Amino acid sequence: AKDPVRVLVTGAAGQIGYALVPMIARGVMLGPDQPVILHMLDIPPAAESLNGVKMELVDAAFPLLKGVVATTDVVEACTGVNIAVMVGGFPRKEGMERKDVMSKNVSIYKSQASALEQHAAANCKVLVVANPANTNALILKEFAPSIPEKNISCLTRLDHNRALGQISERLSVQVSEIKNVIIWGNHSSTQYPDVTHATVKTPAGEKPVRELVSDDAWLNGEFIPTVQQRGAAIIKARKLSSALSAASAACDHIRDWVLGTPEGTFVSMGVYSDGSYNVPAGLIYSFPVTCAGGEWKIVQGLSIDEFSRKKLDLTAEELSEEKNLAYSCLS
Ligand code: NAI
């Protein structure tokens, strides 16, 4: 039998945490033959509720779940973890300035970075979900210099999956037949959902999405803002932000990262830019990636037309501004 993998979920008493921990304990994230030990962190005001989640995990009697650590102590939470899913953060409340929210999250991610650096297992993979996800991941990277930058990522898989969902509905095809949509940039409304390289498996072979939709007005008009603003549409409908889809996307992200992407398929991950596609190096930016052997690689050589170029640059600019804002909060 395999040794259990220790998976940390921060903000585990929150909405996404509540949807995510049972998925992990059922093998959705790491596979049906991989035992796990869950580490759950939240802050003291949520301690009682966190303990309730732990009680439910016991009650669910998950065969793969070999242990649960539920704590408000960040060192205890981070000790020995192989995978860290960072969902905890400070939400934007009514009337708060962007800078105030940034400042709260920068200080959370700065201190959690050091705890991970000092106490996590060597080669721990980190996924930041909490917003501003890209910039929180960047802060984590900067304040955990001994964690290799290839081990730090942020979640844009939800946006990627939303793009698959929209194409699936439009063309009345299964999502499993669609591949290679791309989310470029920030997990915010400036992200660029790109279908230029996406294809659909049809009885007549693989066809480009652009050919099958054959309505550029829909693709460039409605599709893009629908994906960009899907989070807001969910809040409007549910009066709460996306949780089950976010949790599911976090599992997809880690599963593909650890177990690999299928041949010929790429997915979107927020990763440290090396300057590919002329995206400024030093930003955490969502790129198309393939994964093998536990490592992601940015897909190279995709053509970028003028329309796409502008959109890639716009979201990069926003990320540079966020980075500056984050740094101004540090000083
Ligand atoms: P929530 O408010 O229900 O849960 C957040 C939890 O984090 C709370 O239990 C809170 O007590 C905890 N927390 C706060 N500070 C903490 C700290 N310093 N350490 C540990 N835990 C801490 O929020 P929800 O709906 O679960 O969302 C979590 C985050 O994920 C938010 O920042 C949200 O904006 C983000 N999000 C990101 C998505 C993405 O695709 N990247 C999609 C959906 C949400």
Pocket mutation for ligand 1, best pick of 15, 187, 252 (most atoms within 8 Å of C-beta): 15
Question: With a 6 A CB cut-off, is 242 part of the ligand 1 pocket?
Answer: yes
List CB contacts of 211: < 8 A, sequence separation 6 or more.
none
Parallel/antiparallel/unpaired status of strands 199-202 and 178-179? antiparallel
Nearest to 291 by CA among 151, 81, 128: 151
Cα dihedral 301, 302, 307, 308, rounded to 10, equals -100
Could you tell me how far CA 329 lies from the centroid of its own chain? Answer: 24
**Residue 307, φ and ψ in degrees, nearest 5:** -60, -50
Ligand 1 midpoint to CA 205 (Å): 42
Residue nearest to atom 38 of ligand 1 (CA): 129
Question: With a 6 A CB cut-off, is 200 part of the ligand 1 pocket?
Answer: no
Residue nearest to atom 18 of ligand 1 (CA): 108
Ligand 1 midpoint to CA 130 (Å): 5
Could you tell me how far CA 188 lies from the centroid of its own chain? Answer: 12
Nearest to 294 by CA among 247, 264, 255, 248: 255
* Size (the chain), residues: 331
Question: With a 6 A CB cut-off, is 12 part of the ligand 1 pocket?
Answer: no
Question: With a 6 A CB cut-off, is 13 part of the ligand 1 pocket?
Answer: yes
Q: Helices H, strands E: what count in the chain?
A: 12, 14
Nearest to 268 by CA among 165, 207, 147, 180: 180
**Which SS3 state, helix, strand or coil, does residue 312 take?**
helix
List CB contacts of 205: < 8 A, sequence separation 6 or more.
none
Which residue type does 140 have?
L
Q: Which residue has the tokens 């960072």?
A: 86
Give the whole-angstrom CA distance, residue 90 versus residue 100: 10
Pocket mutation for ligand 1, best pick of 9, 48, 102, 129 (most atoms within 8 Å of C-beta): 129
Residue nearest to atom 4 of ligand 1 (CA): 14
Q: Which atom of ligand 1 is nearest to the CA of 249?
A: 40
**Residue 31, φ and ψ in degrees, nearest 5:** 105, 155
Active site residues: 187
pLDDT in tens, the chain (331 residues): 899 999 999 999 999 999 999 999 999 999 999 999 999 999 999 999 999 999 999 999 999 999 999 999 999 999 999 999 999 999 887 778 888 889 999 999 999 999 999 999 999 999 999 999 999 999 999 999 999 999 999 999 999 999 999 999 999 999 999 999 999 999 999 999 999 999 999 999 999 999 999 888 999 889 999 999 999 999 999 999 999 999 999 999 999 999 999 999 999 999 999 999 999 999 999 999 999 999 999 999 999 999 999 999 999 999 999 999 999 998 7
Q: Which atom of ligand 1 is nearest to the CA of 133?
A: 41
